[in-house]
Amino acid sequence: MYWEREIETLPRPKLEALQLARLQQTIRLASRSTYYGTLYRRLNLTADSVTALTDIDKLPFTTKQDLRDSFPYGMLSIGKSEVIRLHSSSGTTGNPTAVFHNQHDIESWANLMARSLYSVGVRSSDVFQNICGYGLFTGGLGFQYGAERLGCLTIPAGAGNSQRQIKLIRDYGTNVVHAIPSYVHRLAEVMEQEGFDPRQSTELRTFIIGAEPHSEEQRLRIEAVFGVKAFNSFGLSEMNGPGVAFECTKQNGLHVWEDAFFVEIIDPSTLEPVADGEIGELVMTTLDRQAMPLLRFRTGDLTRILPGSCPCGRTHIRLDRITGRSDDMFIVKGCNIFPMQIEGVLMRIPDLGSNYLITLETIDGVDELIVEAEIARNVDGTDSQRLAWLTALLTRQIRDETLVTPIVKLLPPDTLPQSEGKAVRVRELRRP
Ligand code: COA
Ligand code: AMP
Ligand code: ZN
């Protein structure tokens, strides 16, 4: 049974008492890491400094940059020999952000995932197809472990190759699919090209969509095309990955599993808490992680806590859809990218100038990353061989940096807007 009734419907005072006990334990554990140990000693902070949940504001925020600066093991709270898994978030410049797990963390994450899947009606009799990058991406193994724990026949389909995905769906009678919403549209288009209607020719019932921003309209379109119910799943590698917040069958916001995560919403410019129900930056603290606890991690995601209670009976708060970012990160094909990563690649190639334009556009059902860049003044713009070589080089280097193969267009000098002031570097032309 993965309807953990007692914990999911815990009255708020009891839930908050549990959070406080776990927060104090998390501070104790985190203090064993080089990063938090040094910081908290300097600030004279211990678990005893936090005697109420509101005292959390005594602790400094943790940022992606802190993780990068502590690379590779500075955030580890346990001996390296007890660590069993590494994941790493895409979308970082310089050092990657590494996230480590011990056996307890993997167990607890799998339980949260199983609980999440159960909450949207997935059961052990289901065939679950995970159309998501495996490897260092958390959506692969995260959903795999959760669906297996629930007892589903779990197909680790991975990303890409739509025709094979469709064959798997049909051959094995897949009922439940996890994929990013933009890819689900691509899947629909390929099914249409193959001449069949997913509502008639498949046993699909449930889609779990997440890992990138999407609108209510997108959800409704997916539901109509496939004849399914689609549920939003939110997570980030630093907080495990998926299984942080999940919609229940009421589809009215993302329940955060508050026995495992503590939520704050702050104004990203003042760093003060926003008023109840206002939009701000989501800040999260792990409450049940041992290898690498994180306290007051600034996610960069903008959202708000929804008012009221949910008719499903769960007492855990609900977040609204993510409405944007407090930084300039964007997500394409499920990969997080900062414009600075692309700029860094361009700057390392002497044959290219410093102006560039990134366009995100849906072409043939696939969201593409288009990078336009100017050649340097000393490069002969009529030398087609040189230009082809440069295009291939830039394409490969951007793919290595971002995991997405870009469409590269080289332009003569002075074609793109100059970089003085705030030049527009990213154009959003994707299908809404
Ligand atoms: N999930 C599943 N398939 C995807 C996808 C995604 N996020 N993004 C693109 N694809 C599909 C494309 O539709 C294409 O398949 P098709 O032509 O048979 O329809 C195939 O992957 C390759 O796409 P292409 O655009 O040629 O490749 P790329 O080199 O730019 O991208 C990916 C490579 C898709 C493998 C890489 O971006 C990736 O691994 N993305 C998955 C990230 C992910 O799962 N994130 C969620 C983490 S929770
Ligand atoms: P990663 O660490 O690579 O798993 O990426 C995490 C980021 O993906 C989050 O910080 C969000 O910006 C984004 N993300 C994940 N799930 C969702 C979702 N359901 N809706 C909007 N954005 C999401
Ligand atoms: Zn609910």
Separation in Å, CA 23 to CA 31, 41, 74, 232, 342? 12, 18, 20, 27, 38
Pair 234, 245: CB distance under 8 Å: yes
What secondary structure letter does DSSP report for 280?
E
Residue tagged 């998926």 (tokens): 242
- Are residues 102 and 172 part of one domain? yes
| Strand (E) or helix (H) holding 301 | strand 297-303
- Are residues 299 and 186 part of one domain? yes
Q: What is the pLDDT of residue 422?
A: 57
- Are residues 406 and 273 part of one domain? no
- Are residues 372 and 260 part of one domain? no
CATH number for the domain spanning 385: value is: 3.30.300.30
Antiparallel, parallel or unpaired: β 324-325 and 318-319: unpaired
Q: How many CB atoms lie within 10 A of CB 5?
A: 10
**If DSSP codes are grouped into helix, strand and coil, which group holds residue 385?**
helix
| Rounded Cα–Cα distance for residues 67 and 43 (Å) | 19
Comparing CA positions, the residue from 237, 259, 257 lying closest to residue 247 is: 257
- Are residues 62 and 29 part of one domain? yes
Antiparallel, parallel or unpaired: β 206-210 and 176-179: parallel
Which ligand is nearest the CA of 321, by number? 2
Pair 24, 31: CB distance under 8 Å: no
**CA-based R_g, the chain, Å:** 23
- Are residues 72 and 90 part of one domain? yes
pLDDT digits (tens, 9 = 90+) for 174-232: 999 999 999 999 999 999 999 989 999 999 999 999 999 999 999 999 999 999 999 99
Ligand 2-lining residues (CB < 6 angstroms): 89-90, 138, 210-213, 232-237, 241, 299, 301, 322, 331, 336
Q: What is the pLDDT of residue 237?
A: 96
- Are residues 234 and 275 part of one domain? yes
Q: Decide which of 273, 297, 326 is a domain's last residue.
A: 326
Q: What is the pLDDT of residue 418?
A: 73
**If DSSP codes are grouped into helix, strand and coil, which group holds residue 267?**
coil
Pair 398, 385: CB distance under 8 Å: no
Phi–psi pair at 285, nearest 5 degrees: -125, 130
- Are residues 344 and 267 part of one domain? no
Ligand 1-lining residues (CB < 6 angstroms): 131-133, 137-139, 159-162, 179-180, 183, 186, 190, 211, 333-335, 366, 403-405
- Are residues 280 and 166 part of one domain? yes
Pair 223, 230: CB distance under 8 Å: yes
- Are residues 256 and 387 part of one domain? no
| Rounded Cα–Cα distance for residues 264 and 335 (Å) | 25
Q: Decide which of 326, 348, 382 is a domain's last residue.
A: 326
CA 65–ligand 1 middle distance (angstroms): 27
- Are residues 412 and 299 part of one domain? no
Tell me, letter by letter, the H, E, C secondary structure of 13-56.
HHHHHHHHHHHHHHHHHHCCCHHHHHHHHHHCCCHHHCCCHHHH
Give residue 387's domain range.
335-428
pLDDT digits (tens, 9 = 90+) for 347-375: 999 999 988 999 999 998 899 999 999 99
pTM of this structure: 0.96
Atom of ligand 2 nearest to the CA of 232: 19
CA 221–ligand 2 middle distance (angstroms): 21
DSSP per residue over 78-123, as a string?
S-GGGEEEEEEESS-SSS-EEEEEEHHHHHHHHHHHHHHHHHTT--
Q: Which residues of the chain have pLDDT under 70?
A: 1, 93, 419-424
Atom of ligand 1 nearest to the CA of 138: 48
**If DSSP codes are grouped into helix, strand and coil, which group holds residue 237?**
helix
Q: Decide which of 298, 326, 354 is a domain's last residue.
A: 326
| Rounded Cα–Cα distance for residues 212 and 408 (Å) | 23
- Are residues 365 and 252 part of one domain? no
| Rounded Cα–Cα distance for residues 29 and 155 (Å) | 36
Which ligand is nearest the CA of 306, by number? 3
Atom of ligand 1 nearest to the CA of 140: 48
Q: What is the pLDDT of residue 312?
A: 97
CA 403–ligand 1 middle distance (angstroms): 9
What secondary structure letter does DSSP report for 241?
E
Q: What is the pLDDT of residue 425?
A: 86
Domain count, the chain: 2
CA 107–ligand 2 middle distance (angstroms): 22
Phi/psi-derived region of residue 211, left when phi > 0, alpha when psi is between -120 and 50, beta in every other case: left
Which ligand is nearest the CA of 365, by number? 1
Q: How many CB atoms lie within 10 A of CB 388?
A: 11
Which ligand is nearest the CA of 140, by number? 1
| Rounded Cα–Cα distance for residues 300 and 336 (Å) | 12
Atom of ligand 1 nearest to the CA of 335: 42
Partners of 298 in beta bridges? 283
CATH number for the domain spanning 241: value is: 3.40.50.12780
